[in-house]
Structure 1
Amino acid sequence: MAEQWWRRPVLVDAALAVAVAAAVAIAIQVAGEPIERQADFLAYALGGLMGAVLLLRRRWPLAVLFATVAILLTYYSLDYPGLAPAVPLSAALFSAAVAGRFRWAILVAAAVVVGGLVARVIEFDMATLPVASAVITDAALLVSIVLLGETLRSRRERVEAEADRRVADERLRIAREMHDGLGQTIAAVNVQAGLADDVLDKNPVRAREALQVIRQSTKEALQELKTMLTVLREGSETRQPGIDQLDELLDVARKAGLRVTSMTSGEPRPMSAEVDRTVYRIVQEAVTNTIRHANATTVTVELCYAPDSLIIEVTDNGTNTQQGNTSGFGLTGMAERVSALDGRLAADFLPDGGFRVRAELRT
C-alpha cells in the first residue's frame, strides 16, 4: 500500500511552502493602497521566497525563522503593501518551536510584536485603543503558534520515550524467556553429558540412558525455542506455559537425576495469565538453579493457595554455598517478575542445609 503523502516530510514541507507562497501572493494582490508602492515582480518574488525557505525548516529551523523575519523587514522597508505577515511568520515560528527552539521562537515573537507596536505608533500614528487591540491580537496569535509547536514537540518526545521504554521492556522480556525457557533444559543436558562421560567405559548401558535423556531434552529445547519464536511473531496472544505445565517441567528435573516432590495446599483456583506464567517461570528458574549449582539430590515444589495470594516454595538439599549468588538473569529475573505483580520474593540458605526460594504473589 502506498504511503499517504502527509506522512512524507518532504511532501509536507513542499505543500506548506506552496500554501504560504500562495497566501502571501493573494494578500499582496488584494492589499494594494494608492499611497504605497505598487506591488511588482520583486514584491511577489519576496513573497515566494518566504514560502521557499520553509523547505529547509526541518534541517535549519532557526535559520529559516531569521530568514523569514529578514525577508519581511526587506519587504516593508521597500514600502510594498501589506502581505499578511502572520502567515509566513507563524509557519517559521511553529517550525522552530517543534524543533526544540522554544526560547528563540518566543524571543523572535516578542521582538516582532514590539516592532509592530513601534511601527503602528510612529509610522501610522494610530490611536491608543486600536494599537493596543492590534498588539494584543498579534501577541496572542504568535504566542499561541509557538506554544502549539512546543506542545507537539513535548508530545512527540513523550511518545518516543514510551516507544523506547517498550522496546527495552520487550528486550528484557525476550531475555527472560530465553533464559527461563532454555536454561533448565541445557542444565539438564550438561548434567547428563557429564554422567555419560563418567560411566561410558564402566557402564555403557547407563551412558546410553544418559544420551537418550540428552536427545529428548534437546528435542524439548528445540520445541521450547519454536514456541518462543512463535510468540514473538504472533504476539502475546499465543498460549504461554503455566501452572498446568508444572508436571512436565518437573519431569525434566527428574531426568537430570533429582528426586522431585510436588505438593499443593489450599483450594486451587484459576489465576490470571500473568500470575499463571510467573508461577511457572519461578519454579523453572529455581529448579534450574538447583540442577546447575546446588549439588542437590532432592527438590520439593509446593504451591499454597491462600485467600488473596499464592505462595510458591522451591526447596532443595544442596550444599553449594554459591547457589544464592549465581550470576546472570536467574534470581534477578525472578525478582523482577515478582515485583511486577506487587509480590515478594525471598531466596535463602536453610539452617540445616539446602536452599529455598519463596515467592508470594497477590491474586
Structure 2
Amino acid sequence: MVVGDRSERLWNPLPDVALAVGLLVVGGVGTTAVGDEFPQAAPVDGGAYALVAVAAAGLAVRRRWPVSVLAVCAVATSAYLVAGYPYGPILVSFFVAVYTVARHRPIRRALVVCVPVLVLLLLHVVVARVRPEGLSGVLPGSAWVVVPFAVGASIRVNRESATRTRVEQARRLADEERLRIAQEVHDVVGHGLAAINMQAEIALHLLAKRPEQAEAALTAISRTSREALDELRATLSVVRRDADAERTPAPGLDQVEALTVRLHRTGLPVTLTVDGERRPLPVAVDLAAYRVVQEALTNVLRHAGAATATVRVGYLPDEVTVEVTDTGRGGSVDGAVGHGLTGMRERVEALGGSVATGSRPEGGFRVFARLPAEPRR
C-alpha cells in the first residue's frame, strides 16, 4: 500500500489552504520584523513580499502536488536568499514543502527531488555578497533540507509499518478462520465418509451371500450420509452467518451418545461412560470436546481394523476430560491420522487444554484430552 497515493485520493484541501493563509500572514509580518533587525541585508521591498507570498501560497496544494509545490517554493526561496534579503519566515514555507515531499512520496523518489533542491537553496552562499558567514553557511543552510526530510521520511516509514502490521494481522485472522473452517469440514465430512466407507465394504462383502444384511448396510449408508450432510449444512450456515445459524446448535458432548449409536450401527461397537455430573459448558469447549471424540472414533473406523472402542467423558470441577481408546492395531500413525490429530491438538490447545495420544501397552490406541471449564481468553 502506498501511503502517499492514498492521501491524494482522500485529500481535503481545507487544512492546506488554512496553513497557506497562516504562513502568508506570518510571512508578511515576520519578514518586516527581520528586515528591521538586520539592516545589513538588502532592504525588504515588494519583491521580497512577492517571493514570500509565492512560497506560502503554493502550500495550499502541497499534498496534491508535493513535488511541484517544492519546486516552486525552492525557486522562490533561493531567489529570495540570492537577492540578499534577510533570513525569515519564507524558510518555514520551504521547510514544510520539503517535509511534505518526504512524507507523501517514496523515500528514494523524495531523495532524488531533494538533492537538487538542496543545491538550489545553497546557491545564495556562493553568489550572494551580503552574507557575512560565506561558505560557513552551508551547514546551517543544509539543515533546512535535511531536518524536514528526516522528519517526513520517519513518519512515512512508521505509517507504512503500521499499515503493513494491520494488513498482516487481517491476513493472519483470515488464515486462522480458513483453518478453523477447514478443520470443521474435515471433522464432519471425514467422520461421515469413514462410516460410509466401512458400511459400503460390508455391503459389498455380503451382497452375494446374504443380500438381506447387505440391504441393512445400504440403509445405514443412507442414514449416515444424510446425517453427515445435515451437520455439514449446519457448519456452512454458521460460516455464511445465515439467519438460521443461530437456531442450529453446535454439536457438543450431549450428542456423543447419538454419535456412538450411529457408529454401532456401522459395525463399530462403542461403549460410552460418563463420570461426574453433566453440566453446560462454553460452546467452544463443548464443541472441541465433541470433535475430539468424533475424530478419534473416525480414526478407529479408518485404521484400527476389527476393534471395539470406549469413550469416557469426565466432568471435573474446573475441567472436562475426554478419553477414547480402542482395541485395534494401534502402533503407527499414518499421514491422514496425523493430520486429524494435529487439528485436534490445535483446537484443544487454543482453548488452553492439552491432548495426549499414543499406543496402549495392552494394544490399541488412546486419545486423551483435557479442556478447561472456561476457554482461555
Shorter-chain TM-score range: 0.7 to 0.9
Q: Which residue is 1:76 aligned to?
A: 77
CA contact under 8 A between 1:301 and 1:313: conserved in structure 2?
Answer: yes
What is the number of equivalent residue pairs in this alignment?
Answer: 335
Q: Which residue is 2:37 aligned to?
A: none
Residue of structure 2 aligned with 1:341, choices 351, 365, 377: 351
What SS is found at the alignment partner of 1:85? helix
Q: Which residue is 2:45 aligned to?
A: 34
1:240 aligns with 2:241: no
Alignment of 1:1-363 (within 5 A): 11-13=9-11, 15-16=12-13, 20=16, 24=20, 27=23, 31=28, 33-34=44-45, 36=47, 39=50, 51=61, 54-55=64-65, 64=67, 69-79=70-80, 82=90, 84-96=93-105, 101=107, 145-234=152-241, 239-319=249-329, 321-323=331-333, 326-327=336-337, 329-363=339-373
> Which AA in structure 2 matches 1:230?
S
Q: State percent identity of aligned pairs.
A: 33
Q: Which moves more between the two structures, 348-357 or 164-173?
A: 348-357
Deviation at 1:228, TM superposition (A): 1.3
User: Which deviations, in whole Å up to 9, do the C-alpha atoms of 1:288-309 show, x marking residues without a partner?
Assistant: 0001111133110001223333
The separation in 1 between residues aligned to 2:61 and 2:348, in whole angstroms, is 57
What is the TM-score normalised by the length of structure 1? 0.75
Q: Which residue is 1:129 aligned to?
A: none
The separation in 2 between residues aligned to 1:305 and 1:125, in whole angstroms, is 89
CA contact under 8 A between 2:252 and 2:290: conserved in structure 1?
Answer: yes
CA contact under 8 A between 1:28 and 1:39: conserved in structure 2?
Answer: no
The separation in 1 between residues aligned to 2:325 and 2:189, in whole angstroms, is 21
Q: Which moves more between the two structures, 236-245 or 172-181?
A: 236-245
Deviation at 1:150, TM superposition (A): 3.5
Deviation at 1:286, TM superposition (A): 0.2
CA contact under 8 A between 1:243 and 1:279: conserved in structure 2?
Answer: yes
Structure 1: 5+ residue stretches without partners: 1-6, 58-63, 127-132
Structure 2: 5+ residue stretches without partners: 32-43, 134-139
What SS is found at the alignment partner of 2:356? strand
> Which AA in structure 2 matches 1:224?
E
What SS is found at the alignment partner of 1:230? helix
The separation in 2 between residues aligned to 1:122 and 1:50, in whole angstroms, is 33
Q: Which moves more between the two structures, 137-146 or 191-200?
A: 137-146
Against the structure 1 CA distance between its residues 242 and 54, is the aligned structure 2 distance closer, same or farther, given a 3 Å change threshold?
same
Q: Which residue is 2:41 aligned to?
A: none
What is the TM-score normalised by the length of structure 2? 0.72
> Which AA in structure 2 matches 1:305?
Y
Deviation at 1:20, TM superposition (A): 4.4
Q: Which moves more between the two structures, 321-330 or 43-52?
A: 43-52
Against the structure 1 CA distance between its residues 135 and 10, is the aligned structure 2 distance closer, same or farther, given a 3 Å change threshold?
closer
What SS is found at the alignment partner of 1:314? strand
Against the structure 1 CA distance between its residues 46 and 209, is the aligned structure 2 distance closer, same or farther, given a 3 Å change threshold?
same
User: Which deviations, in whole Å up to 9, do the C-alpha atoms of 1:123-177 show, x marking residues without a partner?
Assistant: 6669xxxxxx999999987765554434332321221111011011011101100
CA contact under 8 A between 2:77 and 2:94: conserved in structure 1?
Answer: no
Q: Which moves more between the two structures, 284-293 or 343-352?
A: 343-352
Deviation at 1:88, TM superposition (A): 3.0
The separation in 2 between residues aligned to 1:37 and 1:242, in whole angstroms, is 81
Q: Which residue is 2:35 aligned to?
A: none
The CA RMSD over aligned residues, in Å, is: 4.4
Deviation at 1:9, TM superposition (A): 5.5
Against the structure 1 CA distance between its residues 285 and 25, is the aligned structure 2 distance closer, same or farther, given a 3 Å change threshold?
same
